[in-house]
Chains A and B, each alone.
Chain A
Amino acid sequence: EAGVAQSPRYKIIEKRQSVAFWCNPISGHATLYWYQQILGQGPKLLIQFQNNGVVDDSQLPKDRFSAERLKGVDSTLKIQPAKLEDSAVYLCASSLDSGVEQYFGPGTRLTVT
Chain B
Amino acid sequence: AQKITQTQPGMFVQEKEAVTLDCTYDTSDPSYGLFWYKQPSSGEMIFLIYQGSYDQQNATEGRYSLNFQKARKSANLVISASQLGDSAMYFCAMRERSGGSNYKLTFGKGTLLTVNP
Residues of B within 8 A of A72 (CB): none
Residues of A within 8 A of B93 (CB): 42
Contact (Cβ within 8 A) A45 B104: yes
C-alpha spacing A40/B97, complex, angstroms: 26
Contact (Cβ within 8 A) B43 A99: no
C-alpha spacing A98/B106, complex, angstroms: 13
C-alpha spacing A40/B39, complex, angstroms: 12
C-alpha spacing A64/B102, complex, angstroms: 25
Which one of B44-52, B66-74, B78-86 is at the A interface?
A: B44-52
Give B43's nearest chain A residue, CB to CB: A107
Interface of chain B: mostly helix, strand, loop or mixed: strand
Residue count of chain A within 8 Å CB distance of chain B: 24
Verify if A67 is at the interface (C-beta below 8 Å from B): no
Verify if A44 is at the interface (C-beta below 8 Å from B): yes
Contact (Cβ within 8 A) A102 B47: yes
Greatest chain A CB density within 10 A among B4, B33, B47 is at B47
CB pairs A–B below 8 angstroms (21 shown): A41-B110, A42-B4, A42-B107, A42-B109, A43-B91, A44-B107, A45-B104, A50-B102, A55-B100, A56-B99, A89-B43, A99-B33, A99-B95, A99-B97, A99-B102, A99-B103, A101-B47, A101-B50, A102-B47, A102-B105, A104-B46
Give me 4 other A-B pairs in contact (C-beta within 8 A), A99-B95, A105-B44 excluded.
A42-B109, A42-B110, A56-B104, A107-B44
Mark B residues whose CB is within 8 Å of A.
4, 33, 35, 37, 42-47, 50, 91, 93, 95, 97-110
